[in-house]
Amino acid sequence: MGQSFYPNDCRHSKRRGFEHLQVTKFFQIQTDSSSMLRVIKLLVYLDWEIMNVLMENIAFGEGPHWKNGNLWFSDMHSQQVIKLAPTGSWEIVVALQDDQPSGLGWLPDGDLLIVSMQKRQILRFNGKDLLVHADLSQMANYHATTW
């Protein structure tokens, strides 16, 4: 019925805001047999026993990162980069209209780097403007990824 993706480290997180959080199942995919729609839920365990769903309707979660007490990840198939707070509130940080975001990273000045898979670029977001940081299209002959 479902498939779960587990993080590399299942110990308690020491990140600010997540002191008592154990991420045991990071993304869980459930398939509705009648419509074959896939629903991905972000699942976390608090105090080792209680499971809470922090966010639903993630199309394809990718590249999770902890940053400043929040969980950041790409939702490739909905073409968004999302920031999720420990309270469960979330925001779309960047929405790509014509590409799929993949891996994430940050420059020392705090600007967000986003892998643009289909255009084979690395994008830079400074909180306001989305710019091409590096164009890899002449070197990469297929989708750019972080692996």
Is position 145 within any domain? no
Confidence of residue 23 (pLDDT cuts 50, 70, 90): very low
Residue 32 lies in a domain: yes
CATH number at residue 101: 2.120.10.30
**Is residue 23 situated within a structural domain?**
yes
In this prediction, residue 82 carries a pLDDT of 92
In a domain, 147, yes or no: no
pLDDT one-digit tens code per residue, 113-135: 999 888 888 999 999 999 999 88
Closest CA to 21 of 13, 30, 29: 13
90 is a domain residue: yes
pLDDT at 141: 67
Q: How many independent structural domains does the chain possess?
A: 1
Q: Whole-angstrom distance between the N-terminal and C-terminal Cα of the chain?
A: 28
Reported as a single tens digit per residue, the pLDDT across 49-101 is 555 677 777 788 888 888 888 889 998 888 999 998 888 888 999 999 888 89
- Domain presence at residue 144: no
Residue 89 within any structural domain of the chain: yes
Give me the amino acid identity at 83: K
- The domain of 27 spans 2-135
Contacts of 69 (CB under 8 A, 6+ apart): 15, 16, 17, 18, 85, 86
Give whole-number Cα distances, 81 to 33, 40, 44, 96, 119, in Å.
29, 15, 20, 8, 16
What global pTM score does this model have? 0.63
In a domain, 27, yes or no: yes
